[in-house]
Structure 1
Amino acid sequence: MSSTQDPPAEASRLRGHLRLPGAVALAITIVVGSGALVLPGIVYGQVGDAALYTWIAASAATVPLLVVFARLGAAHPGAGGVAGFAQAAFGRHAAAGVEVLSLGTFGLGIPAIALTGANYLTALPGLTQVPGPAAAALLLAGAAGVVAVGVSLSTRVQVVLALVLTTMLLVIGVLAVGAGEPAQHLPPPEPGAVVTGVLVIGAVFFAYTGWEMLSFTTEEYADPRRDFPRVVAISFVIVVVMYLLLALGVQTLLARDDSEALKAPVRALVAESVSPGAAGVVAVLGVVIIAANLIGAVWGASRLVMSSAREGLLPRALARLGGAAQPRRAVGACLAGFLAVLAANQTGLLSLSELLTIAGQNFYLLYLVCAVAYARLFRGAHRVFGIAVTAVLGGVAAFAFGPAQLAYCAALLLAGAGAAALRSRGATRTPRTGERS
């Protein structure tokens, strides 16, 4: 029997009031992160003008994954996101395993984003003396504060930030392309150049992650069946146009052997297309992107914590809704966990590279979970499509992931499934003699 202090399931459900504009803004800010500021230069340095093929291939490879997310999110909306899809397909034990895997992913990836953002924040005038860890903690606390205040404020903030970062990146790309001769820097129309570009697709795939985190917000959609597929499609088109413009701008204006420019390609584009003195705007842009990214990430992570608490995997108190019908305890728990990971980073237990690597590979496996769930839940041609996507993703994981990484993910999945099994066994245990059932 549940404790009398446990919140009723309906009492901890979030209101569905997120509509198309706010949802699209949230999607863009979750997907577009600091990678947009550095990856165009990294890939260009690796393969030259063939880099545009890399971005086109990554965009094309993402489409089947987004079809999976769009249909699953529309058919099974809920704060559980990917774990909710697993529960619909395979039951509560499997979902609990995915919840723990997701918590282990968000718990490492979000602090890593904050540490990356700290470099931009401390580049602003007056903040150069702020220690990096303190700047990262400040960014996390600010993001958690915006989410905790309420969806109304969070949505307005995300719309503004999405407009700012989208406009600035698009303008930088257009100015860069217009300042040079882009026709002279298009990738060669040769099979060898296409292969060269496609072979480094992994270098930019990180820029296309984030839609899986969006799935944790579908409980808050006013009409998820209608709007979630639209949000995925609209945000994807905007993001792809932005990335391709930046990639073409880098190829048009920057020299492949200019290592310093390619470490900060967007800053170099601003310096070349506007003026060297305007390059400082990139620090502001970086802070905007990271702030928006963190708000969206904390939003999604707090919904996962709330959903896991509602299901009994985490303490049920974390499922309670506070003022403005927000899971403020879940937000606070997320912030505490993120700050603990920052502390571990500062003591040398987890490097930034390790945080990014582990989180990135875990995100990939969440895509794989969604593909398996899709193949299970849909029939006919959709099932064949799901099986095909699963086979491709599984083959890549088996080839690219090391035994230690796979063992870590398996341990998280088994820990969650085991905890759910123990809870289920305890709930159905036969009462002792003399006890009422």
Structure 2
Amino acid sequence: MPEELARRLGTFDAVVVGLSAMIGAGVFAAFAPAAGAAGDWLLVALAIAAVVAYCNATSSARLAARYPESGGTYVYGRRRLSPLWGYLAGWGFTIGKTASCAAMALTFGSYVAPGLARPLAIAAVAALTLLNLYGVQRSAGAARAMVAFVLAVLVAVIVAGLSGDGTVTFGWFAYAPLPESAINSPLAPGGVDAWGVLQAAGLLFFAFAGYARIATLGEEVRDPARTIPRAVTIALGITLLVYTLVAVAALRSLQPILLARSEAPLADLVREAGAGWLVPFVGVAAAVAALGALLALLLGVSRTVLAMARERDLPGVLAAVDPVRQVPRRAEVAVGVAVIVLLLVADLRGAIGFSSFGVLVYYAIANASAFTLTRDEGAPPKIVPVLGLGLCLLLAATLPLVSVVSGLAVFAAGLVIWLIRHRNRQRGR
């Protein structure tokens, strides 16, 4: 029987971990490319992303309550489908999110000092890995401070955007007056591009798809059958409310045309709203949000590595639990080292192209696993996992071809490794 992690997280701490993962740097950048894809229908894209997130979160929460272990969908896939499906979920998550950790660390470094982005990214990964070694409660405490600051800045941004004057009405929404230079833009209010709306939904979904961090910490949550579903619901509800209000404020101040062209959407929002004094705070909040997302990612990946090591899908030496701190020390160090190596040697612009594809496969497996739950096991209404699975596959189809191809290549490599290991195990019996 493997050593278990200590159950030290209550509902509040679990919510905070989820918020730090979901309200990351994405909220400061995702609305620009999403507006470029969806135009006037940005809020419709956000609604679709919210439905996907709700289905995935509900399926994950019900499964986490049933299987309160570290590892998330890796565990659920093994228990409900087959060891292979669980392995593929864990493989895609571990590889993709390790690259995402490096990318998020670089995002933090770029916000703080662009010329020193890589050294700052390495320092951030090392510092947060060290923090995690002191226990999940310390990590949750740091997440509390970061989430509180980021939410305070976002509330100020929302208030500034919604209180500005000089709007005009178009259809069902009030926009700021459109600059003359943008009147002939293809993004001007008008028809709908269904493919563009789906692409925008995918971008927005990835920006707040961090609720899985709560599930991957299932072994460290007190009263998981009650705490995890509640924490996931609260964290997702708060995130959706914040994202909706930010989107409304951005559209009201900038319109889809200017929003799509912006390199710093929230900074431009407060400038247009006459609250330029907020711009420095927006920059700091973006850096802090990136740091919070990095912290949650490191926690989630290390717990998945722990679960995979327990089943010998990764080296068993990584399954050790520190007897004093009761944290997966070796898994955490291994993840931290892997992220730092990526930062030193990889061009992450190409390395994380498959991450979006991997996230959708991960949640597709989670929904398929939830579909097998019975009513006595706490199954959600069948429409939830069915809709979640279908929408995950639909959004995967809208990804750029390079992301799909690179994602398939990563999963193919994982499948080959699994088949070789499985064959060797069969021979060893």
Tell me if TM exceeds 0.5: yes
Mean alpha-carbon deviation: is it higher for 265-274 or for 364-373? 265-274
SS of 1:80's equivalent in the other structure is: coil
Determine the C-alpha separation between the residues in 2 that align with 1:113 and 1:301.
14
Counterpart of 1:162 in structure 2 is 147
CA-CA distance at 1:314 after TM superposition: 2.5
SS of 2:317's equivalent in the other structure is: helix
Determine the C-alpha separation between the residues in 2 that align with 1:399 and 1:55.
15
Q: Which amino acid aligns with 1:317?
A: V
Equivalences for 1:10-29 in 2 at 5 Å? Answer: 12-29=3-20
Instruction: Note the alpha carbon deviations across 1:135-157, whole angstroms, 9 max, x for none.
Output: 11112112212211112211111
* 1:175 maps to 2:166: no
* C-alpha contact (below 8 Å) 1:97/1:412 kept by paired residues: yes
CA-CA distance at 1:360 after TM superposition: 1.2
Determine the C-alpha separation between the residues in 2 that align with 1:210 and 1:156.
18
Counterpart of 2:29 in structure 1 is 38
Counterpart of 1:153 in structure 2 is 138
Counterpart of 1:236 in structure 2 is 236
Determine the C-alpha separation between the residues in 2 that align with 1:283 and 1:244.
20
CA RMSD of aligned residues (A): 2.8
Mean alpha-carbon deviation: is it higher for 376-385 or for 218-227? 376-385
Determine the C-alpha separation between the residues in 2 that align with 1:246 and 1:391.
28
Counterpart of 1:335 in structure 2 is 336
* 1:324 maps to 2:315: no
Q: Which amino acid aligns with 1:85?
A: Y
Determine the C-alpha separation between the residues in 2 that align with 1:266 and 1:396.
26
Counterpart of 1:434 in structure 2 is none
Structure 1's unaligned 5+ residue stretches are 1-7, 124-128, 430-437
SS of 2:24's equivalent in the other structure is: coil
* C-alpha contact (below 8 Å) 2:78/2:86 kept by paired residues: yes
Counterpart of 1:198 in structure 2 is 197
Mean alpha-carbon deviation: is it higher for 73-82 or for 372-381? 372-381
Q: How many residues align?
A: 407
Q: Which amino acid aligns with 2:97?
A: F
Counterpart of 1:112 in structure 2 is 103
* 1:368 maps to 2:364: yes
Q: Which amino acid aligns with 2:242?
A: M
Equivalences for 1:130-279 in 2 at 5 Å? Answer: 131-180=116-165, 184=169, 187=172, 192-193=191-192, 198-199=197-198, 200-254=200-254, 256-258=256-258, 262-273=262-273, 275-279=275-279
TM-score, scaled to structure 1 = 0.84
Over 3 Å counting, the alpha-carbon distance change for 1:186 and 1:206 in structure 2 is farther
Instruction: Note the alpha carbon deviations across 1:120-147, whole angstroms, 9 max, x for none.
Output: 1216xxxxx5x22111111211221221
Counterpart of 2:184 in structure 1 is none
Instruction: Note the alpha carbon deviations across 1:45-85, whole angstroms, 9 max, x for none.
Output: 44444322222232133222222111111111211211000
Determine the C-alpha separation between the residues in 2 that align with 1:396 and 1:283.
30
Determine the C-alpha separation between the residues in 1 that align with 2:24 and 2:394.
27
Equivalences for 1:69-80 in 2 at 5 Å? Answer: 69-80=60-71
Determine the C-alpha separation between the residues in 1 that align with 2:383 and 2:282.
45
CA-CA distance at 1:327 after TM superposition: 1.6
Structure 2's unaligned 5+ residue stretches are 175-188
Mean alpha-carbon deviation: is it higher for 91-100 or for 236-245? 91-100
* C-alpha contact (below 8 Å) 1:30/1:293 kept by paired residues: yes
Q: Which amino acid aligns with 2:320?
A: R
The partner residue of 1:96 within 69, 84, 87 is 87
Q: Which amino acid aligns with 1:338?
A: V
Equivalences for 1:349-360 in 2 at 5 Å? Answer: 350-352=347-349, 354-360=350-356
Counterpart of 1:126 in structure 2 is none
Percent of aligned positions with the same letter in both sequences?
23
* C-alpha contact (below 8 Å) 1:187/1:193 kept by paired residues: no
Instruction: Note the alpha carbon deviations across 1:207-251, whole angstroms, 9 max, x for none.
Output: 132123332111111011101111111111111111111111111
Determine the C-alpha separation between the residues in 1 that align with 2:120 and 2:131.
17
* 1:408 maps to 2:405: no
Instruction: Note the alpha carbon deviations across 1:340-376, whole angstroms, 9 max, x for none.
Output: 211232xxxx342x23321111111101111121223
SS of 2:86's equivalent in the other structure is: helix
Determine the C-alpha separation between the residues in 1 that align with 2:75 and 2:222.
18
SS of 1:184's equivalent in the other structure is: strand
* C-alpha contact (below 8 Å) 1:104/1:412 kept by paired residues: no
Determine the C-alpha separation between the residues in 2 that align with 1:187 and 1:60.
22
